[in-house]
Homo-oligomer: A and B are copies of this chain.
Amino acid sequence: MYIPTYEDMVAAHERVKPYVHKTPVLTSSFLNQLTGAELFFKCENFQKAGAFKVRGACNAVFGLSEEMAKKGVATHSSGNHALSLSYAAGRRGIPCHVVMPRTAPQAKKDAVIGYGGVITECEPSTSSREAVFAEVQAETGAEFVHPYNDHRVIAGQGTCSRELHDQVHDLDAVVAPIGGGGMVSGTCLTLSHIAPKTKIYAAEPLNADDAARSFRAGHIIADDAPDTIADGLKVPLKDLTWHFVSNHVTDILTATEEEIVDAMKLIWKRMKIVMEPSSAVPLATILKNRDVFAGKRVGVIITGGNVDLDNLPWMNS
């Protein structure tokens, strides 16, 4: 297991700069008043392909040798990594094969196809996903880029908090959503080096709280097919992300489905930005842990904005 270094993140930043946005940091006086904290929202919903995942995907794709690149790349993903890898492969002009759960939002499937990715569907469980993927990879010989348990991907995701650190000084804490742990690992990689006093919190849906339970148990616990509207956060930790989470994260906080939807609507209504349910989990946990964050300067990672406008969470209730 190769653990990516700070220097890998710096190299990744140079490599991905031509293909990703330096996303803006937004603030809201209303939400500051509501939480008692000073919140700085790093808006990766405005990122290319609509999510932070394009950082790791571009680092992996543009780091390949010419010979490796010819056969293309392949992955399995609950959505945003699929879009991002398709986008990155398209920019380099190489094939991208994607295994996606058949239950993934249609908007995400359409976007993958729009970026030139080729989709093979699987059942919405980790076990089915991995089985179908093995077939696809055997057929194509494409380079596997795991959505998060990959040192190239983690180094790429780390570029997000490097930008945030440039944009906002003296953060007391950063809160990021956790699924497989790619964004949180990248945040740990970068901030443990350049801002070791900044505490890193992970925010997770209570309905998919395997990372929180892992954190308390001291070893990885994986659930097969948890059910949450935060569809980007259903996947379990793996060895590489567990390394960062177990070594650098201060706490993993959870929120219910209702709290996530409420936080999402609050951000849409007050900040006028479109973002995914997954991206609302940090604010949901900040709202219910006022004592932890009040009086602090807190970075909040808005991870993505690829939502199906015809199927918003509050349309079903």
Q: Residue on B with the closest CB to A26? A: B46
Q: Report if A309 contacts B (CB, 8 A).
A: yes
Judging by beta carbons under 8 Å apart, are A268 and B274 in contact?
yes
Whether, in the assembled complex, A169 has its beta carbon less than 8 Å from a beta carbon of chain B, the answer is: no
Copies of this chain per assembly: 2
Complex interface bits, A301-312 against B, C-beta within 8 A gives 1, otherwise 0: 000010001101
Give bound CA distance, A107 to B310, whole Å.
20
Q: Is the CB of A2 closer than 8 A to any CB of chain B?
A: no
Residue of A50, A269, A315 most packed against chain B (CB within 10 A): A269
Q: Indicate if the CB atoms of A272 and B273 lie closer than 8 Å.
A: yes
Chain B residue with the shortest CB-CB distance to A43: B272
Q: Are B46 and A272 in contact (CB under 8 A)?
A: yes
Q: Indicate whether A24 reaches chain B with its CB closer than 8 angstroms.
A: yes
- Asked whether, in the complex, the Cβ of B269 is within 8 Å of the Cβ of A309, the reply is yes
Q: Which residue in chain B gives the minimum CB-CB distance to A107?
A: B269
CA distance A26 to B46 in the complex (A): 10
Q: Is the CB of B305 within 8 A of A314?
A: no
> A50 CB to closest chain B CB, in angstroms?
7
The answer to the question of A199 belonging to the interface, with a C-beta cut-off of 8 Å to chain B, is no
**Chain B residues, CB < 8 A from A309:** 265, 268-269, 312, 314
Min C-beta distance of A176 to chain B, whole Å: 18
Neighbour of A272 across the interface among B265, B269, B305, CB < 8 A? B305
Smallest Cβ-Cβ distance to A276: which chain B residue: B272
* Whole-angstrom CA separation of A25 from B88 in the bound complex: 26
- Please report the total number of A residues contacting B with Cβ < 8 Å: 19
Q: How far is the CB of A295 from chain B (nearest CB, A)?
A: 25
CA distance A315 to B26 in the complex (A): 29
B314 near A310: Cβ-Cβ < 8 Å: yes
The interface residues of chain B lying within 8 Å CB-to-CB of A314 are 309-310
Q: Give the CA-CA distance A231 to B5 in the complex, in Å.
A: 54
Give Cα A107 to B268, complex, Å. Answer: 13
Q: How far is the CB of A32 from chain B (nearest CB, A)?
A: 14
Residue A45 at the B interface, CB < 8 A?
yes
Partner of A273 from B269, B273, B310 at Cβ < 8 Å: B273
The verdict on A142 contacting chain B, using a C-beta distance below 8 Å, is no
Chain B residue nearest to A315 in the complex (CB) = B315
A24 contacts across to B, CB distance below 8 A: 24
State in angstroms the CA–CA spacing of A140 and B309 once bound together: 44
Min CB distance A257 to B, Å, is: 17
A273 vs B268: C-alpha distance when bound (angstroms)? 8
Residues of B within 8 A of A273 (CB): 272-274
Q: 4 closest Cβ contacts across the A-B interface?
A: A272-B305, A272-B274, A45-B272, A268-B274
